[in-house]
Structure 1
Amino acid sequence: MATGGKGSQSSTARPTNRLIYEKSPYLLQHAHNPVDWYPWGQEAFDKAKREDKLIFLSVGYSTCHWCHVMEQESFQNEEIGQILNDNFVCIKVDREERPDVDKVYMAFVQATSSGGGWPMSVWLTPDLKPFVGGTYFPPEDGIYQVGFRTVLLRILEQWKRNKTSLMENSQKILSALLARTDVGARGEEAPPSSKEVMSRCFQQLSESYDEEYGGFSESPKFPTPVNLNFLFSYWALHRSTTEGARALQMALHTLKMMAYGGVHDHIAQGFHRYSTDQRWHVPHFEKMLYDQGQLAAAYAKAFQISGDEFFADIVGDILLYVSRDLSDGSGGFYSAEDADSYPTVQSTEKQEGAFCVWTAEEIRWNLPDPIEGIPEEKTMADVFMHHYGVKEDGNVNPMKDPHNELKGKNVLIVQYSLELTAARFGLQLEQLKTLLAKGKEMLSKARGLRPRPHLDTKMLASWNGLMISGFAQSGAILGKQEYTDRAVRAASFLRHHMFSTVSGKLLRSCYRGQGNAVEKSSIHGFLEDYVFIIQALFDLYEASLNPSWLEWAVQLQHKQDELFWDPKGFAYFSTEAGDPSLLLRMKDDQDGAEPCPNSIAVTNLLRAASYTGHKEWVKKAGQILAAFSERLLKIPVVLPEMARSAAAFHQTLKQVVICGDPAGEDTRELLHCYYSTYTPNRVLILADGDTKGFLYRHLGFLSSLEKKDGKATAYLCENFACSLPVTSSQELRRLLLP
């Protein structure tokens, strides 16, 4: 099979290595390398000890651009392969399949070098302790960087001459790392003040905010939905203040600029991973499932708050892409699409962005139709190129194109407002919208003839959870039943394929197998799998009102407590206990591209307590906040999701109870009010009168709540004490927005 490496074609004569028996698309990409790769496991560890050899650990993922580059340059190089095979035990790890392994050694690389990233290259002693690490290495020495071949030979020489010293240094580094990653509370510490944490987080975000283009850095620029969710919550809690207005403006402006930019795929929908420049123009072209899920929810909330249909359109755009390109027939969602692809069917070398970019000539060829009724003789291409910033010699800054792959090419970006473009060409606004939509459709067909980028068909529990939340929240807010139905299909897929009814445990991943059958992995779920799925099930209950999702969420919460809770330092470990190959049991302490699992766990615990009355979970939520209190008080900007959850903890989640028949018009009116009103820190409970159902069995007070005057009735409850009943959406809205 093709390696998927950039510019690579695998040799059919080359013998395979052990990775050929793996299911991970990333490991299979390396199965034909001349490197004698092992998967992470006892066979490799035993060989290293038996032969007293160092381990070379290479970690990446199948849609990682620089992983492809290093594979082509080094791992397909016969001479480098021989050096590795003769002197090291080589282990290849898919970071998405084994985030536990990745996080341990990434912590080491970040602590001992100037940064981290993938591919990650780490050299370990035979007992798995790291002593040298880095990321991408070019094959040969350059002006600014030592080559991979040189690094290998130097490390080998050090191992031969100074083995004892290396082992001692490795142990020292490990001890320091253990101290550095030790997150926990000492005794019964109180959770930090949410007012102080929220205020400081807002201040720190405001200081890093890009006033012109939105976002919170100059470049590279990542979507970071956790920042946007924090700002929405901050606005809702400070609606009448200048700071509240600024928080909302920062979030909405960022979402608009991202949608206008090249980081948004204007032809085939969805969002690319990040922008390499300040103005969201030139992206890193891979598309990740976790971005789509979180961004769909963020744009849905932006519509919920602003009422601006622009944001609703972007939600539809994202969910169309995921439904079409990242969906398995079984109901699950695939992980990612690659950045690299072959420019033409005849090409032998892959290029980054080849599937997505355009020359001016290509756009003229595909959009030749003249536009009638305007003063000048203009074609559809003229209007399209003007609106989307297309230039004859390409619109990509050479500084953002280190390999000259985008020379003469254009990344589409909304250069002008619809009003300005319409005025420029003497078009009516609706006429322009129709023209641009037709142009996108025609270019989409043209792009469909190009070789597609590699699709990582691995299905991860955690990322599926994030995507279910995206569909469920969007379905509820936009009133789109098809989105809720898609979320239900995906949740059913998880319950059928990635959950053991015997052990009550989740699996980490599964794969599209032969004949589109689903193949399960043997890797158990990690903390992130539990928290993102539990969150998804709560979101799905609110959208579908089916209490079976609540039951499963509560079951998983109990299992999460059993497997991951730290009774001494509080909060949850990222991994189960008992794996001897893991040197550290860590707790993530940063919200990044995905939220830190402990951040989401706080809100999950509060929601679970609201649905069950189980107060031990409220206590646990406070203990997590206490465990992270130092970071929350000093640099909450690295934990905006946890800062947001601190407010939920201190203010107590409000239970919005609606008594009625969900099929009744009066009940639907109250539900619509709930879905269309943005207020953080609340849960929805449908009291449908089923006294034997899950909610009535756990929440005794529901039996005392009744309809008023025979109409669907809403109550706002806090700590299981409820307001006076209301029967109109106007009255409910006043309760939700005091």
Structure 2
Amino acid sequence: MPEQKNNRLAHETSPYLLQHADNPVDWYPWGTEALEKAKAEDKPILLSIGYSACHWCHVMAHESFEDKATAEVMNRLYVNIKVDREERPDLDKIYQTAHFMLSQRSGGWPLTMFLTPDQVPFFGGTYFPDTPRHGLPAFRDLLERIAGFYHERRDEIDRQNESLQSALSTLFSPRGQDAPSSAVLDTVRAQIAQQFDARDGGFGTPPKFPHPTTLERLLRHHAHTDDDKARYMACFTLEKMARGGLHDQLAGGFCRYSVDGQWMIPHFEKMLYDNGPLLALYAQAYAATGDAYFARVAERTAHWAVETMQSDEGGFYSALDADSEGEEGRYYVWDAQEVRDLLAPELYPVFARVYGLDRPPNFEGKWHLHTFVTPDELAGETQTDPATVEAMLEAAREPLLAVRGKRVPPGLDDKILTSWNALMIRGLAVAARHLGGPDWAAAATRALDFIRQHLWRDGRLLAAYKNGTARLPAYLDDHAYLLDAILELLQVRWRSADLTFAREIAEILLAHFEDHEEGGFYFTADDHESLIQRPKTFADESMPSGNGVAALALGRLGHLLGEPRYLEAAERTVRLAAGLMDQAPMAHTSLITAFEEQLYLPKLVILRGDPPAITSWHERLSVDYAPRRLVFAIPADAPDLPEALAAKAPKGEAVAYVCTGTTCSAPVTDPDALLEQLG
């Protein structure tokens, strides 16, 4: 018999919401039905926001939402709304910010907020246990107390709500000022150095997150200043992360964060939005240093993404859960004897020495693979060639992967999100450019074509796709990341239709997201549903700032097309955020990078001619890490070129046009002369 679904979440497509469709809680998805019910019955709203790969979301669900006694209290006292933060980042931004303002504590997931029927929060928290512990009240007791507070102290709640609304409005509406100073480029580098962990890499104290935008900032800083310490901080961190348990040492791909300072034990969920930027970053690090290890990490990450996360239709899935068979990390950890039994006698000692199986277990009586001794160090100890050690480790991976592949895998969140796909498209494009992987460019192209076919409707972008259905109006991040990704992919292989798509995305940003009075971009479009606030955020979070990426991408597209409207929108965004960059530079590295390209205009190289010739030129220009150089190889017969590009006509087999801002040099027909000109 089919499973009985007990609440309205059974009609949703989000894997996270469907996980709760069997709960005895009378869950509603966010929407008119739930909001009107709360008003009609004068009940507070219990808003629970999480995502499918979230370990503590699963814990709270098991302890409370699957418990009939707790559900009875929830159903009697509240209108209960479940939200997938990955489908509704607008709601997550609003209520995470409100949680911080109400509690002066950082938020997280699950986010548990109590709202008045008009959607304004008056109390909140994150995870609440089923019994009092860790200084937290039992969830069922809290439910009774909050409901009583709501009905007995309405005047106090109303006054608090008024203050909160005013504070949110101020926070989401920074005022413009003069353009930022170039000093912020040095200030952010100094602040990063203050936070740098010289022993283990990364920044700050555990839990440690990868922070790709911070690491890319350091690589860019070195590229333009020859500041060796900046490059060292980036590369030391990248190696420590890749050698650690944060990185899947067998299959590739990175987990969300490390719970310790050594990158040893991760929170085991694997998110697409981490792996796209990290793929790009390791490819850039290889281009900047020539270190083959960074190339191998990028290659393995790309392989994992394409083999595990790309759907048959072309889009990339969202995440792999932290849990398997109800236990966090179960899929990834090993028993030392099991590994010994699987490996050839000559391989086990090497594998055990490198990955710590000759040491005490590091995860709940098991071993999670973490590099304790690098292959180079082991080669020195044993007077062996490092390449021999690497080959033995590679030989050991195959049988271990085969056995691991037979285990019950972590849950797959198979919804396809436009913004996260854009981050992976960009990552694959950057890797293809620097490492020359044609399959990666093809995978990126398939994902872009999937978005255009399934998530582009009537000239507007949609945010999410699942089971053949695209839904939800797209957000700022969807548009900004996609525009940036298309521009990166165009630098790997040219398709005029992609440039047209990029222009359409840019026009939507200006028409529906830009604040035409103050500058910058709202997170939601002007025709989005009405919420208690329309967020306009600038800081990098777990993903890059939508405003920062929009400013960078619009600036690049503006230079490519000679379109001043795009350049002006980018400049207004940076000017509006100048104060924020000065106050907290490390939190706004995406915007600082956009500002850097406005301060020091990128060199735009347009190659025209026959594909074999311009491809050869292009490959020579892609070897170096030159973040202020954009190279587009456009075949002589490329159709539908805008005027600014059509004017750069083919001459002979190949010709290069080099432009900085509105100034272009004479056409160059010799590749060596071009390289000399570019420096």
Counterpart residue identity of residue 591, structure 1: D
* Equivalent residue for 1:509, pick from 432, 451, 464: 464
Residue 201 (1) aligns with residue 188 (2)? yes
Indicate the SS of the match to 1:421.
Answer: helix
Alpha-carbon spacing, 1:134–1:670, altered in 2? closer, same or farther (3 Å):
same
The range that moved more, 472-481 or 412-421, is 412-421
Residue 280 (1) aligns with residue 263 (2)? yes
Residue 370 (1) aligns with residue 367 (2)? no
Per the alignment, residue 73 of structure 2 pairs with: 83
Give 1:428 shift. Answer: 4.1
Alpha-carbon spacing, 1:426–1:649, altered in 2? closer, same or farther (3 Å):
closer
Unaligned 5+ segments in structure 1 are 2-11, 343-349, 372-379, 397-405
Report the Cα distance in structure 1 between the residues aligned to 2:61 and 2:332, rounded to whole angstroms.
23
Residue 736 (1) aligns with residue 649 (2)? no
Counterpart contact for 2:45–2:115, Cα < 8 Å: yes
Indicate the SS of the match to 2:473.
Answer: coil
* Equivalent residue for 2:131, pick from 102, 118, 140: 140
Per the alignment, residue 648 of structure 2 pairs with: 702
Report the Cα distance in structure 2 between the residues aligned to 1:446 and 1:425, rounded to whole angstroms.
29
Report the Cα distance in structure 1 between the residues aligned to 2:543 and 2:341, rounded to whole angstroms.
41
Residue 659 (1) aligns with residue 608 (2)? yes
Counterpart residue identity of residue 359, structure 1: D
Indicate the SS of the match to 2:367.
Answer: coil
Residue 307 (1) aligns with residue 307 (2)? no
Give 1:687 shift. Answer: 5.0
Residue 716 (1) aligns with residue 654 (2)? no
Report the Cα distance in structure 2 between the residues aligned to 1:489 and 1:27, rounded to whole angstroms.
28
Counterpart residue identity of residue 357, structure 1: V
Residue 264 (1) aligns with residue 247 (2)? yes
Give 1:635 shift. Answer: 1.5
Counterpart contact for 1:589–1:639, Cα < 8 Å: yes
Report the Cα distance in structure 1 between the residues aligned to 2:377 and 2:360, rounded to whole angstroms.
24
Per the alignment, residue 278 of structure 2 pairs with: 295
Q: How does 1:14-93 map to 2 (within 5 A)?
A: 16-93=6-83
Report the Cα distance in structure 1 between the residues aligned to 2:676 and 2:196, rounded to whole angstroms.
33
Report the Cα distance in structure 2 between the residues aligned to 1:580 and 1:271, rounded to whole angstroms.
35
* Equivalent residue for 1:384, pick from 348, 351, 354: 351
* TM-score, normalised via structure 1 length: 0.89
Residue 499 (1) aligns with residue 440 (2)? no
* Equivalent residue for 1:620, pick from 546, 566, 569: 569
* Equivalent residue for 1:192, pick from 166, 173, 180: 180
Residue 96 (1) aligns with residue 66 (2)? no
Report the Cα distance in structure 2 between the residues aligned to 1:428 and 1:78, rounded to whole angstroms.
62
Q: How does 1:161-172 map to 2 (within 5 A)?
A: 161-172=152-163
Report the Cα distance in structure 2 between the residues aligned to 1:538 and 1:90, rounded to whole angstroms.
43
Report the Cα distance in structure 2 between the residues aligned to 1:312 and 1:51, rounded to whole angstroms.
60
Report the Cα distance in structure 2 between the residues aligned to 1:727 and 1:174, rounded to whole angstroms.
61
Describe the superposition over 1:63-82 as per-residue Cα deviations: whole angstroms up to 9, x where unpaired: 01110010001111111100
Per the alignment, residue 412 of structure 1 pairs with: 369
Per the alignment, residue 403 of structure 1 pairs with: none
Indicate the SS of the match to 1:164.
Answer: helix
Report the Cα distance in structure 2 between the residues aligned to 1:76 and 1:207, rounded to whole angstroms.
46
Alpha-carbon spacing, 1:143–1:533, altered in 2? closer, same or farther (3 Å):
closer
Per the alignment, residue 376 of structure 1 pairs with: none
Per the alignment, residue 111 of structure 1 pairs with: 101
Per the alignment, residue 357 of structure 1 pairs with: 333
Counterpart residue identity of residue 336, structure 2: A
Report the Cα distance in structure 1 between the residues aligned to 2:634 and 2:416, rounded to whole angstroms.
35
Indicate the SS of the match to 2:492.
Answer: helix
The range that moved more, 357-366 or 56-65, is 357-366
Give 1:364 shift. Answer: 1.4
Describe the superposition over 1:167-188 as per-residue Cα deviations: whole angstroms up to 9, x where unpaired: 2322222222222222242xxx
Counterpart contact for 2:101–2:164, Cα < 8 Å: no
Residue 176 (1) aligns with residue 167 (2)? yes
Per the alignment, residue 395 of structure 2 pairs with: 438
Unaligned 5+ segments in structure 2 are none
Report the Cα distance in structure 2 between the residues aligned to 1:663 and 1:120, rounded to whole angstroms.
54
Q: How does 1:275-674 map to 2 (within 5 A)?
A: 275-342=258-325, 350-367=326-343, 369-371=344-346, 380-391=347-358, 393-394=360-361, 396=362, 406-425=363-382, 427-500=384-457, 502=458, 504-511=459-466, 513=467, 518-521=468-471, 523-579=472-528, 581-664=530-613, 667-674=614-621
Counterpart contact for 1:658–1:685, Cα < 8 Å: yes
Per the alignment, residue 228 of structure 2 pairs with: 245
Report the Cα distance in structure 1 between the residues aligned to 2:65 and 2:297, rounded to whole angstroms.
40
Give 1:53 shift. Answer: 0.4
CA RMSD between the two structures: 1.8
Counterpart residue identity of residue 382, structure 1: P
Counterpart residue identity of residue 164, structure 1: D
Per the alignment, residue 201 of structure 2 pairs with: 214
Report the Cα distance in structure 2 between the residues aligned to 1:635 and 1:559, rounded to whole angstroms.
30
Report the Cα distance in structure 1 between the residues aligned to 2:604 and 2:134, rounded to whole angstroms.
62
Indicate the SS of the match to 1:507.
Answer: strand
Report the Cα distance in structure 2 between the residues aligned to 1:176 and 1:592, rounded to whole angstroms.
20
Indicate the SS of the match to 1:385.
Answer: helix
* Equivalent residues, number: 678
Indicate the SS of the match to 2:129.
Answer: coil
Counterpart residue identity of residue 546, structure 2: P
Give 1:341 shift. Answer: 0.6
Report the Cα distance in structure 1 between the residues aligned to 2:640 and 2:540, rounded to whole angstroms.
36
Counterpart contact for 2:559–2:567, Cα < 8 Å: no
Indicate the SS of the match to 2:627.
Answer: coil
Describe the superposition over 1:220-273 as per-residue Cα deviations: whole angstroms up to 9, x where unpaired: 11111101111111111102xxxx111111111111111111100011211111
Indicate the SS of the match to 1:92.
Answer: strand
Alpha-carbon spacing, 1:582–1:190, altered in 2? closer, same or farther (3 Å):
same
Give 1:430 shift. Answer: 3.4
Counterpart residue identity of residue 166, structure 2: S
Describe the superposition over 1:193-224 as per-residue Cα deviations: whole angstroms up to 9, x where unpaired: 2x211111111111101112211122111111
Give 1:431 shift. Answer: 3.1
Report the Cα distance in structure 2 between the residues aligned to 1:668 and 1:148, rounded to whole angstroms.
62
Report the Cα distance in structure 2 between the residues aligned to 1:264 and 1:455, rounded to whole angstroms.
18
Give 1:475 shift. Answer: 1.0
Give 1:525 shift. Answer: 0.5
Alpha-carbon spacing, 1:419–1:644, altered in 2? closer, same or farther (3 Å):
same
Counterpart residue identity of residue 231, structure 2: L
Report the Cα distance in structure 1 between the residues aligned to 2:245 and 2:112, rounded to whole angstroms.
31
Report the Cα distance in structure 2 between the residues aligned to 1:34 and 1:537, rounded to whole angstroms.
45
Report the Cα distance in structure 2 between the residues aligned to 1:296 and 1:255, rounded to whole angstroms.
11
Counterpart contact for 1:190–1:623, Cα < 8 Å: no
Counterpart contact for 1:383–1:425, Cα < 8 Å: no
